[in-house]
Amino acid sequence: MIFPQNAPQLAALAPEYLDIVNGIGQEEIYFGYQADGDATPADVTAEMERYLDLFTDAGKFVLTVDYTSDVENVDLAYSRAWAKGYVPLATVRDLDRLTVNEGHRPD
């Protein structure tokens, strides 16, 4: 399977891109854009969601990775991602351990 990381705008620049990928991974959509645990600016989130929606509209998976460990931020990141049809993960930037967030255990 092909899952590029970030650069969702490629779906708008080259629509055939969606024909060759199975989905996309997107970092920092809700938290961690400027600093771990900090909310990503609303305009940045809106722009990313606009492009990521091209993937979901095409029946592709969108995997999100947000960098926060604050329980409220984790809950918000998961609820916002699920509402958009994305598959979320909130974790540490080093990605050096598996993070299972309370209340968000994988199926």
Among residues 94, 66, 70, the alpha carbon closest in space to that of 78 is found at 66
Give average pLDDT by consecutive 10-residue segment, the chain, 107 residues: 96 94 98 96 98 97 96 97 97 86 82
CA 68 to CA 39: how far, in whole Å? Answer: 9
Count of structural domains within the chain: 1
In terms of residue numbers, what domain contains 71? 23-84
Residue 98 has a pLDDT of 81
* pTM, to two decimals: 0.91
In a domain, 103, yes or no: no
In a domain, 12, yes or no: no
In a domain, 56, yes or no: yes
Residue 101 has a pLDDT of 85
Per residue in 57-71, pLDDT tens? 999 999 999 999 999
